[in-house]
Amino acid sequence: MQGYKNMLDAYTQAGGTPEIFKDSNIAHLVVHKNKVIGSHLVKGLILEPQETANGVDIKLTVEKGIKIENPVHLCFGVLPKEGIQEINIKAKIEDGAEIKMLAHCVFPNAIKVVHKMSADIEVGNNAFFEYTEVHFHGSTGGAEVIAKAKMRVGKNSRLITNFSLLKGRVGILEIDYDSEIQDNSILEMTAKVYGYGDDKIKIRETGRLIGKSSRGLIKSRVAVKENAQSEVISEINATAPEARGHVDCIEVVQGNALARAIPIVNVTNEFAQVTHEAAIGRVDKKQIETLMARGLEQEEAIDLVIRGMLR
């Protein structure tokens, strides 16, 4: 019971609202290390967690035509200073189904915590899946997060992923999301990370537009300061006619930090089009001056610009 309460405290610190765990209309799953310490289901959602030696395997299905009204809340965490958590998710969003999932991953005391997430997600035809993952790490930079996802999206569907790590030190972060998009479907992938200290950030997001008239947007916003390092690889491959994609990457660098942005655009169909924009630099001088002319100190102005960009 104390473990559950501690998880909820960490979840609240991460920006979550613990009241949702009491709402019978909202499905949830709370996992601490390799223990499922809370769960609730709603009609049409099948959620089967299986505890393993180092984590939990989760099988999730949204049945055909079912629209889950409220976002499903997931909370994964490791509260001690050290530990490992491996989460394997196999999700199937069947034809015509719709679901939004909001995952909070909390490692508030991490000195040596490893969190590995591997997801295999299948979104059917005429379906909708939105997955938002919000991380809250402590101030010590002792977390290592390795997140991999393979996603396949059917026809006339929509897949949205949002990843954000804005509170606490990143530590080490490696994201590798890969998606395959069929006819008339839409992909939107967004990652927002703020790194400092000696954080190391590697983000690779790939969208494969293999269906006719498929659409893809990969957007990343990364800020690094002090001695942090970031590398963002955003890739869109358009192989189908009338496929349209756009890569939008902005990285802000301060102090001794190092940022790399690598947009990759591959088009192998003459009727497809992919555009990209990538910018790395300091915060725009005019933005800083504008905010300083309202009375902010330079550091406050820079912070406000970055927080806005990462919002």
Q: Write out the residues near other proteins by the rule CB under 8 A.
A: 221, 250, 284-287, 289-298, 301, 304-305, 307-311
C-beta closer to other proteins: residue 83 or 195? 195
Q: How far is the CB of 167 from other proteins (least distance, A)?
A: 16
Identify which of residues 56 and 250 has a Cβ nearer to other proteins in the complex. 250
CB of residue 278 vs other proteins: minimum separation in angstroms? 15
Contact 73, 102 (CB under 8 A): yes
Closest distance to other proteins from the beta carbon of 296 (Å):
6
Element (H, E) at 287: helix 285-292
Closer to other proteins by Cβ: residue 45 or 310: 310
How far from 142 is each of 51, 78, 109, 176, 270, CA to CA, in Å?
24, 12, 8, 20, 47
Nearer to other proteins, 140 or 164 (CB): 164
CA dihedral 125, 163, 256, 258 (to 10 degrees): -10
Q: Are 210 and 269 in contact (CB under 8 A)?
A: no
The smaller minimum CB distance to other proteins, of residues 43 and 285, is found at 285
Identify residue 183 by its one-letter amino acid code: D
Burial of 132 (0-12, 13-18, 19+ CB in 10 A): middle
Q: To the nearest whole angstrom, how small is the minimum distance from the Cβ of residue 238 to other proteins? A: 25
Asked whether the beta carbons of 31 and 75 are under 8 A apart, the reply is: yes
- Count Cα neighbours of 230 within 13 Å in the Cβ-side half-sphere: 31
Nearer to other proteins, 256 or 290 (CB): 290
Query: Residue 221 CB, nearest distance to other proteins (Å)?
Result: 8
Spatial neighbors of 118 by CB under 8 A, at least 6 apart, are: 86, 87, 88, 89, 147, 148, 149
Beta carbon of residue 295, minimum distance to other proteins (angstroms, whole number): 4
